[in-house]
Amino acid sequence: MNALNPNTADPNEAGPSKVNGDKDARVVTIDVRRFRPEQESTPSWQSYEVPCSEEWTVLDALNHIKDHLDGSLSYRWSCHMAV
């Protein structure tokens, strides 16, 4: 459950095969363009396999990647901040 939308699965509680017990959850591939100027001279693409449910947004998937797969991922977001 997501604090802003109680009907949305929380990406922080997701496991590799299920999202909050959602037996219809599926695994999707998220391709992220990354640029680490201290390590690379040009941007590169990195793929992540993410379990998600129909209610997830792209932001939910990115949060799952950052919290569970790659803590070095960083991005700006404000769509859930009611700005």
Give domain status of residue 74, yes or no.
no
Give domain status of residue 37, yes or no.
yes
Q: What pLDDT is recorded for position 22?
A: 60
Q: What pLDDT is recorded for position 65?
A: 97
* Coil/strand/helix, residue 51: strand
Dump strand ranges (E) for 1-83: 26-34, 44-52
Amino acid letter at 37?
A: P
Give me the count of residues in the chain. 83
Instruction: Count how many domains the chain has.
Output: 1
Read off the pLDDT of residues 13-37 as tens digits, 9 standing for 90 and up: 544 444 555 666 799 999 999 998 9
Read off the pLDDT of residues 35-75 as tens digits, 9 standing for 90 and up: 989 999 999 999 999 999 889 999 999 999 999 999 999 99
- Range of the structural domain that residue 59 is part of: 11-69
| Distance (Å, whole) CA 58 – CA 14 | 15
